[in-house]
Chains A and B, each alone.
Chain A
């Protein structure tokens, strides 16, 4: 294995080197770096041109310029990277750090969401092949996949930003609209839950009646400007999770699972009050620490009390603790929301990653970042959702045809076990490759998304550099994306070998 990795790394460096040389030559010949000056009628045009030629070393032959760049980069091996400066005299390393940070923030969440949702949808549609749900989801994913990013961004801004902001100023949903929403949700829900015709009809009717009532009730509560939850609802919902978790794993009569779950509910309530002031103004570390404790303590309780069923008990308690903690956080976000709205009357912006000079507490900043991130994340996620769901679906379908699945079924294993233990795991093997490529591509940024939402990420740095025929930023972009592509491909190969015991290297 080690020999394999070393061999791959060695060839990777060779590839990177050759590609960098090729790219460098292509970039410096891609246009005229003096273009903006040529059409200028400043009296000192000649002087400005001379200065730029001198600064960018345009009078040097390509191999000398490349050598300069290469020696700067090779200093990276001793920890003193010199990526040069861009056309404006700004250090490229600084630019790169900013660009990479903003791209990661922009694309990471979207990619993770797209991967998780896409795989889930893929499995679901494969299990229910040729059902109404399958057709609907297939239609939607293809629709999203073929959306021009730019146009979709404009639509999202129009409805989710401008439309929502106008609406939130004085939230109103007419009775007719609520009924319509109820009917649409009812249709979707019956499709998702499936079952016999009677069950579908029941689901539809229940949702179609329930949803409009909830909508009108929430309006009466002024929920959208003053959302409220409070400890009572946190506890009730956590209790529900505890009970249904127990029911699903061991049955409600199984005290060894039920008690740890109930104890966790009590702990959630205690923690809610104990941390109330701390959580009103927390920081990210407190939140992370809290989350770890919220999962670790119930897990411990479950292990200690679960006896023979400690595995089940621990997982039910963990889920309960996690949900309780999440609900507590949501409760605090709800409390912060009215103040946030006062501070930022139009919460969803169409541009930027956060409001400049925004003042407020931790939750205000949290909400500010979240609302700014919302639109680009939705956009990127729905677009890459398609590839994940389609690949997963076809991979699942293929696996389900295999002999070992039939064997598993004939052994009498439950459908859930067959799908998740036997089919899903094997179906994930090709997905690993796609995910690796996707993550490698991720760092390259999303040029159009960055542009329309006003983020200066990697894609923007590349495009601007190329536009100015400015080799340094383009090469820095290449260095990062090229390295990422090679590393992730290597990782994919390794993961492959781990997932699939048939592959030996």
Chain B
């Protein structure tokens, strides 16, 4: 049979082939086993003194690539300051490329960025701040960073530069209020390094304003004008002259995925610049060799766009060195299973979960006594223990709204505003109140944006406790809770369960707790609270802010605006050979100090 003949021939041939190749083993004879880089110091070799960037001493940029992923969304644009392009994923990359006068530490505290320059408040009334740009601060193309750049930053945040009305601003920017809060803009020699800004009203959050965004010389060149002409036109409010510049700023840096803008139009002021972009997969940023401050620790950072579900295995396979997934118990368990191959960073974030009462119409919770009864029966400790601690073992019940448990002033604020009366579930107390108010069987619809497994579980926990006290809790979770015409807008709920993301601003709470403000969803109104916020917002003295926060917290506790529950947990992980990866509570995410990351030898 032919088949047999052939298979015999193949066997003979294979044996021949083996015999012929029996020359010698390949390779140089050394053991190819990769040497395991033993790193005993773990992540974070530097001493930490505060929540800001650690001092790493003298740094020389190491020729290496560290890959990081914070999520799947694609990089959008060099200009991440327009409403379309602004996203936390885009910012994770662009924030490495642009220096600001301040940066946020791991607990949300603001630190000056001394690499770029300095600032000081020189007058309280009117609020005037003087900014000084360092003499050697320059863009990566060598052009010095000057007041003109700050003028551009002011211009793009200025609604008064528009096409006829404020509805149609020239510059399509995410932040638009500087035109009104600082009417005259940065004052100083346009080609110089010093300027002052004068606020029209006291602004406790003055230090948060961005006074350096994009390179003015590039925008000017693309608009066919000199940098000076551009700055003068912005300062003079000459919208007509700025149309071309604005068009470039709005669109000129937006390219198709995989194509970067031309090198000469995208200089950077930060430690990294854009290197390459592989559409759909990754963006690589490269150390800016002209950086005037502390150089980046690692030459290349490769931002990969990876789904959360694929991150842990990619980390294990060393495809990625640092990951910032959405925190879930499953992800944590997978990471823990990797043992000492990875370092896990856990902790609180500046996003906090709370139960807000609805004060509209005839809602039952307009009655303070019922609010108290509800607060007594909500098992906050139980919720934290069962739903948050698995992700962050250090998690605690949150007893404040304006400060977080990990912040220094938390204890101070809480001890002044809250006596711990709702720490323990008090079913008897709640029952008594309900009976006294003749409100046994009061229906409580807890609304939230579904689907959200954790919130469903929270409501279940509240139901099992509060139903015993005499409430009738209903899970009113709805995908359209926040949608137009949805449950929240109609007011068809008694308690809203959701989270606010802390912005780091001192006065942002006014929008939530003061009468008639847009984020006061439950339409709460308390004249005392309004007044205290007014005092806070018009003061520039941190001591006053601190005092006001205590007062406001106390009022909100006594009057029960709502019940804070916990700070959301955060999770990230890095290969055990990567140093200086540090958890942060802020929305900047794990990449906040990426310029300090370095692979251990």
Contact = CB atoms under 8 A, between A and B. Distances in A.
Interface of A: 32, 35, 38-48, 50-52, 55, 87-91, 94-95, 97-99, 102, 150, 154, 157-158, 161-162, 165, 169-170, 193, 206, 210, 214, 217, 220-223, 225-230, 232-233, 236-237, 239-240, 243-244, 247-248, 338, 345-346, 348-354, 356-357, 451-457, 460, 464
B300 interface: yes
19 contacts: A32-B484, A44-B175, A46-B518, A50-B167, A55-B83, A87-B84, A94-B259, A95-B257, A98-B257, A102-B279, A161-B317, A221-B21, A232-B20, A244-B9, A247-B2, A248-B2, A357-B284, A451-B310, A454-B281
Contacts of A346: 317-319
B276 A232 contact: no
Interface in B157-182: 167, 172, 174-177
A244 B258 CA distance: 50
B444 interface: no
B310 A453 contact: yes
B265 interface: no
A17 B89 CA distance: 36
Contacts of B319: 346, 349-352
B503 A41 contact: yes
Contacts of A351: 304, 306, 310, 314, 319-320
A59 B232 CA distance: 37
A102 B74 CA distance: 14
Contacts of A44: 174-177
Given A170-B31, A247-B6, A357-B276, A165 B18 contact: no
Contacts of B76: 88-90
B82 A240 contact: no
B132 interface: no
A236 B12 CA distance: 11
B256 interface: yes
B10 interface: yes
Contact of B26 (A46, A90, A223, A239): A223
Given A91-B256, A356-B284, A452 B174 contact: no
Contacts of A55: 83-84
Contacts, number: 215
Contacts of A157: 310, 313, 317
Contacts of B11: 206, 210
A472 to B, nearest CB: 13
B309 interface: yes
Contacts of B305: 454, 456
Given A95-B257, A169-B33, A226-B25, A350 B314 contact: yes
Nearest to B65: A357
B511 A41 contact: yes
B519 interface: yes
B126 interface: no
A48 B257 contact: no
Q: Chain B contact residues (Cβ within 8 angstroms of A): what range?
A: 35 or more
Given A351-B304, A451-B72, A456-B280, 11 more contacts: A32-B483, A40-B501, A88-B76, A98-B257, A221-B25, A223-B26, A229-B21, A349-B314, A356-B67, A357-B300, A452-B309
Contacts of B17: 233, 236-237
Contacts of B72: 451, 454, 460
A341 to B, nearest CB: 8
A41 B512 contact: yes
Interface centre among B73, B314, B449, B511 (most CB of A within 10 A): B314
A94 B257 contact: yes
B11 to A, nearest CB: 7
Contact of B27 (A244, A248, A338, A357): A338
Contacts of B112: none
A451 B5 CA distance: 49
Contacts of A243: 9
B16 interface: yes
Contact of B508 (A41, A223, A233, A464): A41
A214 B77 CA distance: 54
Contacts of A350: 310, 313-314, 317, 319
B570 to A, nearest CB: 18
Nearest to A165: B317
Contacts of B34: 169-170, 345
Nearest to B279: A98
Interface in B462-486: 480, 482-484
A50 B169 CA distance: 12
B316 interface: yes
B7 interface: yes
A170 B33 CA distance: 5
B38 interface: no
B281 A456 contact: yes
B27 A48 contact: no
Contact of B302 (A348, A356, A452, A457): A356
A251 to B, nearest CB: 9
B111 interface: no
Given A244-B6, A346-B318, A455-B281, A90 B257 contact: yes
B392 interface: no
Nearest to A206: B11
Contacts of A154: 313
B580 interface: no
Contacts of B21: 221, 228-230, 232-233
